[in-house]
Structure 1
């Protein structure tokens, strides 16, 4: 292009062509030709070399302050055991009042600083098919992972995670996780967030007994609350991919801190982590915190559920008189179950109006009792009305 500019300009200055004639012959605007002539007068033929069209200054240019802060955040977040990727760094920059560059620019800054290790064999994001619940409480994922205390004692950390928002609903330490732990943490979480429409877990015995031809405690509770149970295919952990990746995040955070000496100390760390995970770090899939994502979308629920309903669960057994004692509002009431069920192990599921008693060995509902604060004895609605066991004729 510069040779064409030279020819046109030299023909004009030598008088062979006027500006108007040169514009018509060479397909250039008269305005552009006058600009070339001005550059020739100021700089000679060198002034006719092609020039960049980029602006001399850019409002998007990354300042030295931002570059330094990107590197500082990378070091600080990594040392804290939390996510330190470009999305998270950009989120922190914005919170600090700095104009965050694009994530690709942040990645280049980190690469230039030697803080990114290339992963040439990593699968491209386009090769993944993402499955995500469309609303909070549509699906809760659960799983547990192993961790060791300072003396080498193995403990298990049980987690409940909302599939849509990634909100960490519950994070508790056990030695080991039992079926009762799963039920208790699940019902406690329901009291805080309302019941989910479904759950997604692996096929561990604390979650399902379907391969043995029956149901376990957790499955009885799901059936009683009309919650759909979903289980991943055996030997296919990708189904629970979100919570598997979450376990990596959790362990990275724990590793960056002194190892807990007791299970109580570990639970304190887990409580701190849960607050941090939910409210002070953005999730990379959304660019916002899980707590914000959970709160910003209407919740779903099992069919027929009233959002104002709260649940309480208790494990008990039927006494020799066919009753179970139940404390409510500092007063003891007696649930009529039936003498034929004496000694049976049960789960009691109480909502605001009714208590449902499920036999643990069979999953059979053996009693429903209407809550009546004015009465001491609540009869079994599954049976015809009769006398209080042990009363006189």
Structure 2
């Protein structure tokens, strides 16, 4: 009980002060004196004790059904190997017809249940300098990662990602990818989505020969890009941060795969990758594209197109006609066997190559 409140009431009841007089004497409002006297008459001395100022109702409190759904989504998404952070949970709540609380509220709910661990030493996202293409097809990132089959066999996964929207253009598996296989995949994507303005890859030989030990002609991937006027960009050796988007994408992919039994065959793994592609593009909100799905972001704006000129390739080399009357030339990652004739077996020749066209000069003919 607050003594002053009781003194005010006794001054009115025992000393006969009016409410206005008591208010002036004790430095309070007349309304407050009236309130104290009314409470005293109704409840006695307990009525003038201090009362909590907390609101009797809490309209902003998260409803129990929403709280339960937050916890269920956290467990479900984690079990699926999907992202299960507050932003993702909020997206799923809204698409399930719930009124989603703020991400801060969702985080507090997860903390309270021990489903999230604070990481104060973790570098904040705001500290990263991000680069993003302005339009879909302005830049495609491509890379190769690996996974294992149930037998322990290591296989490779090739993927293409649109830089602007994070749209997964293609993902496929093989025992090992060769240059021609990458060219085939890129050709199919150009036919389906149109040619991009540029590509960004690492310096693997399936993408570029610029760091090859023995310098030679451009690889098949480089020739394909040149033919379409697509600008080729490669990351700095030993600096994977350049391909940061696709590196983080691989983390998402491998969480998804790790939540499922290892596949028995490459066909089984391809079925999983196709399932992943659909989920990733249409059911997974992406923080970097405003919590939209990659499919939504990819289809929301006009597509960029190549701006570079067609770049011709000129090269030459000497060789000898083999015993079968042929010379061998590598173009676009494939060996081409050119027939000269067995009568010229062992003869030195000069090969002049311009893109897909070749001219063969035979020793002693035409001044060679």
Normalised TM-score (structure 2): 0.75
Q: Alpha-carbon deviation of 1:58?
A: 4.0
Q: Alpha-carbon deviation of 1:131?
A: 1.5
**Counterpart Cα distance in 2 of 1:125 and 1:95:** 26
The answer as to 2:199 corresponding to 1:196 is no
Q: How does 1:182-221 map to 2 (within 5 A)?
A: 182-212=182-212, 213-214=215-216, 215-221=218-224
Q: Which has the larger radius of gyration?
A: 2
**Counterpart Cα distance in 1 of 2:353 and 2:257:** 39
- Provide Cα deviations, 1:327-367, integer angstroms capped at 9, x if missing partner: xxxxxxxxxxxxxx98645459xxxxxxxxxxxx9983245
Moved more, 207-216 or 157-166: 207-216
- Provide Cα deviations, 1:179-208, integer angstroms capped at 9, x if missing partner: 112211111112221111111111111111
Structure 2 unpaired stretches of 5+: 310-325, 334-350, 360-368
Contact 1:137–1:195, Cα closer than 8 Å, also in 2: yes
Instruction: Tell me the secondary structure at the aligned position of residue 287 of structure 2.
Output: coil
- Provide Cα deviations, 1:261-293, integer angstroms capped at 9, x if missing partner: 111111111111101111112113221211111
Contact 2:8–2:22, Cα closer than 8 Å, also in 1: no
Which residue of structure 1 lines up, in the alignment, with residue 271 of structure 2? 268
User: Number of paired residues?
Assistant: 314
Moved segments of 4+, more than 6 Å: 7-12
Which residue of structure 2 lines up, in the alignment, with residue 42 of structure 1? 39
Q: Alpha-carbon deviation of 1:210?
A: 1.4
Change (3 A) 1:47 1:183: farther
Among 296, 299, 322, the residue aligned to 2:300: 296
**Counterpart Cα distance in 1 of 2:331 and 2:203:** 23
Alignment root-mean-square deviation, CA? 3.5
Change (3 A) 1:205 1:20: farther
Q: Alpha-carbon deviation of 1:117?
A: 2.1
Among 218, 232, 236, the residue aligned to 1:233: 236
Instruction: Tell me the secondary structure at the aligned position of residue 211 of structure 2.
Output: helix
Q: Alpha-carbon deviation of 1:230?
A: 1.4
Contact 1:40–1:48, Cα closer than 8 Å, also in 2: no
The answer as to 2:135 corresponding to 1:138 is no
- Provide Cα deviations, 1:358-385, integer angstroms capped at 9, x if missing partner: xxx9983245xxxxxxxxxxxx9x9xxx
Structure 1 unpaired stretches of 5+: 306-340, 349-360, 368-379, 383-393
Ranked by relative contact order (alpha carbons within 8 Å, sequence separation 6 or more), the top structure is 2
**Counterpart Cα distance in 2 of 1:363 and 1:158:** 31
**Counterpart Cα distance in 1 of 2:207 and 2:127:** 31
Normalised TM-score (structure 1): 0.70
